[in-house]
Amino acid sequence: MSEENNYENRPYGFPRDLFASVKLYGIRLFSLLFVFGAPILAMQFTGSGKVFPKQQAVEYISFVVLTFIIALYLMFPFNGGKNNLHAIRIFLTRRRKRYQSIDRMRSKEVAKTEKRGIGRR
């Protein structure tokens, strides 16, 4: 009996698909829900004259269609096995000092000028 057969016949083991995602017809379920859920949420929040008046039906329909297209784009595959939505999330959260508030930068400049004595009255 070889080691491979001995390994496969053990009553315990590590599940093979521990990190596998749920798929429906080869498409991840999260992607399907995101792509079809985004326009539905857009219709819920902006429908019945809340954002777009009744006279702007063309704009309302184009908004829902563009929401679907953007959601579809965000689910397209990107480098490294991720999709565009995950790539944007990783880009924004990888380095915390990448984006700083304008007011925070302005307050640092004011603090520097006050230390030098510039701008005091």
C-alpha distances (whole Å) from 24 to each of 18, 29, 30, 31 are: 18, 6, 10, 10
The mean pLDDT value for 87-115 works out to 69
* Assigned domain for 121 exists: no
* Assigned domain for 75 exists: yes
At 1-42, the pLDDT tens digits run 455 555 556 566 666 666 667 776 777 778 888 888 888 888
Which of 14-18, 74-78, 80-84 is the least confident region? 14-18
* Assigned domain for 64 exists: yes
Average pLDDT, the chain: 75
Which of the pair, 95 or 85, is modelled with greater confidence? 85
At 52-61, the pLDDT tens digits run 888 888 988 8
**Is the pLDDT score of 46 beyond 80?**
yes
* Assigned domain for 78 exists: yes
How many domains does one find in the chain? Answer: 1
φ/ψ of residue 103, rounded to 5: -65, -35
Two tokens at 66? 């563009």
Q: Return all residues near 60 (Cβ < 8 A) that are at least 6 apart.
A: 46, 47, 52
* Assigned domain for 25 exists: yes
* Residue span of the structural domain in which 77 resides: 3-116
C-alpha distances (whole Å) from 33 to each of 13, 22, 53, 106, 113 are: 33, 12, 28, 42, 52
Q: Would you call 28 exposed, middle or buried from its count of C-beta atoms within 10 A (0-12, 13-18, 19+)?
A: middle
If one counts every other C-beta atom within 10 angstroms of the C-beta of residue 42, the result is 20
